[in-house]
Amino acid sequence: MPDLLLGVDGGNTKCIALVAQRDGTIVGAGRAGCSDIYAVDEPETALAEIDLAVASALASAGASTDDVEAAGFSLAGADWPEDYDLLRCELSRRLPHVPQLEVVNDALGALRAGAKDGVGLAVVCGTGGCVGARSPDGRSWHSSWWGPHTGGFAMGRAALEAVYRAELGTGPATALAAAALDVFGAASVEEILHSFTRRKGRHRFEASLFAPAVVREAAHGDAIAREIVVDQGRQLGETGVAAARIVGLAGRPYPLVLLGGVLRSEGAGLLRAEIASRIPEGVPAETRFEPAAGPLLMAFDAAGIGPDEDRLHETFPGTELFASA
């Protein structure tokens, strides 16, 4: 009899799969690459990464898809109705014996990771930025293609452009220049520019690797870095307020979940504070889990099981599984 729960958190940098027993004990974990159907040439490429993460997690648990009772998928790229049709069809085909299979946008998966019953507002700042909200009556909304470009990639790209301008003398000097040389292992700013713009060079999403340094330099007082961080906080916060209004949360306090690799980085207090200051009705929630816990909890929900969250926390994988670099 199937007795395992599967959760998959898929983004632009990585795809994480977790397998748990019914009591909340995590018994398997796997990791693969980008699983966003919009970030690759063909959806099959993204689906192959999901396959790899799931296979790895099940193998480490000594299990197969036949042992899975329910599965939750929290995916970047689950944006429009046709995306859900595609993803549900393909995932059901891959997991034909799993009777309960849930697919949501990654912003809503993150919300389930940090807020009881997945009700409230989530603001996520990882490789990308996303916002998701759900009301007690079940209305939900996620930012997807709405609003400005946010997240580590947008921050990294803005910071690199500032470094290039500083190098040319068309912009102010910034501590980000030295930080960029360190992050990208380069001897000069031109070498960094070349690495991102040459044929067969760095993938554009590698700019997100610079985001933690931007956050750190902002905390240390660099004016350019601070401007980038404050702007990101403003944009994410304003989108969060819109999300809360759309689903009917506005007008009363609601849980505010802040998650994502950039928000975990050294010196992220400024970014977190800027986001929260824009969302006065949001009550910051204490989050015990990484976003990857969200789809796993969704699987428990689908199976009608209330997991022991203390056991889930005790057996949760270490942070190295979730690191972007």
Shared domain check, 258 and 129? yes
Q: Give the number of domains in the chain.
A: 2
Backbone angles phi, psi at 168, to 5 degrees: -80, -15
Specify whether 162 is located in the same domain as 54.
no
Q: Which residue has tokens 């995590």?
A: 26
* Rounded Cα–Cα distance for residues 130 and 141 (Å): 11
Q: Are residues 181 and 152 in the same domain?
A: yes
Provide the residue-wise pLDDT of the chain in tens; the chain has 325 residues. Answer: 689 999 999 998 899 999 999 999 999 999 999 999 999 999 999 999 999 999 999 999 999 999 999 999 999 999 999 999 999 999 999 999 999 999 999 999 999 999 988 999 999 999 899 999 999 999 999 999 997 789 999 999 999 999 999 999 999 999 999 999 999 999 999 999 999 999 999 999 899 999 999 999 999 999 999 999 999 999 999 999 999 999 999 999 999 999 999 999 999 999 999 999 999 999 999 888 999 999 999 999 999 999 899 999 999 999 889 887 5
* Residue 239 and residue 134 in one domain: yes
Give the pLDDT score at 296: 98
- Shared domain for 124 and 271, answered yes or no, is yes
Residues 292 and 267 in one domain: no
The CA distance from 228 to 172, in Å, is 14
Same domain, 278 and 310: no
Do 128 and 218 have their domain in common? yes
Is the Cβ–Cβ distance between 218 and 210 less than 8 Å? no
Model pLDDT, residue 2: 82
CA distance 129 to 295: 18
pLDDT reported for residue 200: 93
Q: What is the pLDDT of residue 105?
A: 97
Instruction: Identify the pLDDT of residue 325.
Output: 56
Rounded to two decimals, the pTM is 0.92
141 and 277: one domain? yes
Residue 264 belongs to domain spanning: 118-284
User: Do 41 and 163 belong together in one domain?
Assistant: no
CATH of the domain at 265: 3.30.420.40
Tokens standing for 5?
Answer: 């729960």
- In this structure, are 14 and 29 located in the same domain? yes
Residues 140 and 279 in one domain: yes
